[in-house]
Amino acid sequence: MISLIITTNPATLSFAEAVLRDAQIECFVMDQNMSVLEPGIMIPKRLMVLDDDVADARDVLTDAGIGNELER
């Protein structure tokens, strides 16, 4: 799996997940529960996609207007 977005913004993650799922691209948010282990620290979450879906996912997210959030 490849990390496409790393952020502490839950709205960005939720929107990106919805866009990818609508495009039938499987995704997974990692580190979602890390704040339970370290309360008070904003730990970034990572939006992951399968290696084979990276190019399509980047295109879909860019078309949705959040291409600036993508990892390089």
CATH number for position 57: 3.30.70.790
DSSP state of 31: S
Q: What is the pTM of this model?
A: 0.87
Q: Residue 57 corresponds to which tokens in the numbers above?
A: 């996912």
For residue 35, the model assigns a pLDDT of: 67
Helix (H) or strand (E) holding 2: strand 2-7
**Residue range 23-48: mean pLDDT, rounded:** 86
DSSP SS3 for 25: coil
For residue 32, the model assigns a pLDDT of: 82
Q: Please state the domain count of the chain.
A: 1
Give residue 40's domain range: 2-69
* Mean pLDDT score across all residues of the chain: 92
Q: Tell me how far apart the terminal alpha carbons of the chain are, to the nearest angstrom.
A: 15
Q: Is residue 21 pLDDT above 70, yes or no? A: yes
What does the CA dihedral 64, 17, 40, 33 come to, rounded to 10 degrees? -170
